[in-house]
Amino acid sequence: MATRKKVLLKVIILGDSGVGKTSLMNQYVNRKFSNQYKATIGADFLTKEVTVDDRLVTMQIWDTAGQERFQSLGVAFYRGADCCVLVFDVTVPRSFESLEAWRDEFLIQASPRDPEHFPFVVLGNKVDLKDNRAITENRAKSWCDEKGNIPYFETSAKEATKVETAFLTIARAALQQEKDEDIYHDFKDAVNLDDVPDKKQDGCGC
């Protein structure tokens, strides 16, 4: 292959309502924090061009609604994701306990080809609120280790703590995932697995 095709990486941010998904995405893409963000309905996304290990890639970052009842809409947004970011609020234990459910839900709805190795990254957000901290770094880390060594970062969207670093890791993980998918597809094309005559009948009653 002579030309490198333009790479688009799709990243999904999940987590309970209010943990700071919209704030994190905006801190990363626009480098600012505002307390003027509205609650997210459905989903929104922003894109950002970044260089990852000398490759220019476009990250399409999807920020989803956190309220549980919106979950059934997930399929449409999760499809084709290259990396999934799970966010909790270090001052709200419930949001940490939800991580497992978010992860499972993602795997079911996005149904990646190789769920065992699909890249996740966990962010414990709002670490600037030191006095209200409820989930320790150790506790979060051990959960991540249990789930197959998920990278973990302690962030503050408000003070821009670790946001850049976390998203670089996210981009790398997504890029790796993309490459793996590519290899799989090249392989599939090479052996022509799909080369079965189309059996579509006429007069199908649809």
Partner 1 sequence: MCADTSPAGKDVLGFEPSRHISGDVIANLARRRMRWHRKYPRIEDAQHKSFTRPFKRFISKGVPHHLRPNVWRLSASRFAQKYNRKHEDVPILNGSALLQQARSNPHALTIDEDTLMQIKMDMPRTFPEHAEFKEGAHIYEELGHVLRVFAHLHPHIGYCQAMNFLAGVLLLTTRDAEATLSLLQCIVLVYMPDRYTSEMKVQDDVKILQRALNTPRYAHVRSALEDAGVDVTFFAVKWLLMLFVDALPSDQLLVLWDLFFLWGRRVLLQAALFLLHEHVEDLRARPDVNHVMDVLKDLGRTRALTPQAFAHGITQHGGGVVPKLV
CA nearest neighbour of 170 among 120, 136, 124, 103: 120
Contacts of 73 (CB under 8 A, 6+ apart): 42, 43, 65
Instruction: Tell me how far apart the alpha carbons of residues 162 and 174 are, in angstroms, rounded to a whole number.
Output: 18
Run of H or E including 179:
helix 163-191
71 is a site residue for ligand GTP (CB under 6 A):
no
Provide the 10 A C-beta neighbour count for residue 127.
21
38 is a site residue for partner 1 (CB under 8 A):
yes
Residue 23 near which of partner 1, ligand GTP, Mg ion, none (CB within 5-8 Å, type-dependent)? ligand GTP
CA nearest neighbour of 82 among 68, 102, 100, 61: 61
Run of H or E including 176:
helix 163-191
Number of residues that bind partner 1 (CB under 8 A): 24
5 is a site residue for partner 1 (CB under 8 A):
no
* Helix and strand element counts for the chain (H, E): 6, 6
Tell me the closest approach of the beta carbon of residue 61 to Mg ion, in angstroms.
Answer: 12
CA nearest neighbour of 25 among 134, 170, 178: 170
Tell me the closest approach of the beta carbon of residue 73 to ligand GTP, in angstroms.
Answer: 13
Q: Which amino acid is at 179?
A: K
Select from 30, 31, 32, 39 the one that contacts ligand GTP (CB under 6 A). Answer: 39
Binding mask of the shown chain, residues 5 to 24, with x at each position contacting ligand GTP by CB under 6 A: ----------x-xxxxxxx-
128 is a site residue for ligand GTP (CB under 6 A):
yes
177 is a site residue for ligand GTP (CB under 6 A):
no
Select from 9, 12, 14, 40 the one that contacts Mg ion (CB under 5 A). Answer: 40
Which CB atom, from 21 or from 103, has the smaller least distance to ligand GTP? 21
109 is a site residue for partner 1 (CB under 8 A):
no
Which CB atom, from 39 or from 108, has the smaller least distance to ligand GTP? 39
Q: Are strands 43-52 and 120-125 parallel, antiparallel or unpaired?
A: unpaired
Binding site for ligand GTP (CB under 6 A): 15, 17-23, 35, 37, 39-40, 65-66, 125-126, 128-129, 156-158
